[in-house]
């Protein structure tokens, strides 16, 4: 079937399907394809077309890169709390991961839960108050509350996602082949 995507009477002359860009960030809503006589954008990569900061590659807000359960396990394995400081790609992933889009542009249950875990205030204790999820690294890095904040965040993450680290080595079951022994990592060295 021949297509006239821009309604100019010529078949396949270069303009493809257009999508609504409600937030004006240059990325279209995959759930809102437009009729051929309506201008829009040529891509359908926006996972939240009501937030101008949510688009692939965004350095502000969420960048629409999906986080599968496997990704979360990989990130959790890079969690390090030592000498009162926070480090490792896991912390960066908390900040940049955001909402994972499925084929319909909706967050999956695990991904939405992952996002929610680190967007809420996490009670730490009387001396440290609470750490605010997505700002854990910025607010508590190198401070006396870093370790308790991260421990609280980790517990919150485990409760929320169901990923457990019984031996506290930073590796989660089932990737950790012996989650009762902190000296054994997922590769079982």
- Whether residues 75 and 47 fall in one domain: no
Residue 182 lies in a domain: no
- Whether residues 139 and 101 fall in one domain: yes
Q: What is the pLDDT of residues 1-23, one digit of tens each?
A: 445 555 666 655 556 778 899 99
Distance CA 136, CA 119 (A): 10
Residue 117 lies in a domain: yes
Residue 75 lies in a domain: yes
- Whether residues 102 and 29 fall in one domain: no
- Whether residues 25 and 104 fall in one domain: no
* Mean pLDDT rounded to a whole number for the chain: 57
Domain residues for 97? 69-161
Of 33-47, 50-64, 86-100, give the lowest mean pLDDT range.
86-100
- Whether residues 74 and 149 fall in one domain: yes
Give the per-residue pLDDT at 21.
Answer: 94
- Is the pLDDT reported for residue 119 higher than 80? no
Residue 110 lies in a domain: yes
Whether 30 contacts 45, CB under 8 Å: yes
Ramachandran bin of 125, using left for φ above 0, alpha for ψ from -120 to 50, beta for the remaining angles: left
Distance CA 185, CA 32 (A): 45
Q: What is the pLDDT of residues 51-92, one digit of tens each?
A: 787 777 665 544 455 444 444 444 443 333 322 333 333 333
Give the per-residue pLDDT at 113.
Answer: 41
- Whether residues 97 and 146 fall in one domain: yes
Q: What is the gyration radius of the CA atoms in the chain, in angstroms?
A: 21
Segment 32-50 mean pLDDT:
80
Residue 63 lies in a domain: no
Q: Is the peptide bond before 126 cis (omega within 30 degrees of 0)?
A: no
For tokens 């396949």, name the residue.
12
- Is the pLDDT reported for residue 97 higher than 60? no
Total structural domains within the chain: 2
Whether 170 contacts 176, CB under 8 Å: no
101 against 125, higher pLDDT: 125
Of 56-70, 102-116, 163-177, give the lowest mean pLDDT range.
102-116
> What's the token pair of residue 46?
């926006």
Kindly give the pairing relationship between strand 121-125 and strand 80-82.
Answer: unpaired
Closest CA to 61 of 42, 46, 44, 81: 46
Give the per-residue pLDDT at 53.
Answer: 72
Distance of CA 100 to the CA centre of its chain: 6
């Amino acid at each position: 079937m021949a297509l006239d995507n821009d309604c100019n009477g010529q078949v396949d002359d270069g303009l493809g399907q257009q999508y609504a860009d409600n937030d004006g960030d240059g990325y279209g809503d995959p759930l809102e394809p437009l009729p051929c006589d309506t201008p829009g954008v040529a891509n359908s990569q926006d996972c939240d077309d009501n937030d101008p900061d949510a688009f692939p590659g965004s350095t502000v807000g969420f960048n629409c890169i999906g986080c599968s359960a496997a990704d979360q396990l990989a990130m959790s394995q890079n969690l390090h709390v030592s000498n009162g400081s926070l480090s490792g790609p896991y912390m960066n992933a908390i900040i940049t991961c955001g909402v994972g889009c499925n084929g319909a542009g909706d967050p999956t249950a695990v991904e939405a839960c992952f996002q929610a875990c680190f967007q809420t205030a996490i009670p730490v204790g009387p001396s440290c108050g609470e750490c605010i999820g997505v700002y854990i690294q910025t607010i508590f890095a190198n401070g006396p509350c870093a370790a308790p904040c991260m421990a609280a965040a980790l517990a919150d993450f485990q409760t929320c996602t169901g990923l457990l680290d019984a031996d506290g080595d930073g590796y989660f079951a089932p990737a950790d082949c012996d989650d009762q022994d902190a000296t054994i990592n997922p590769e079982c060295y």
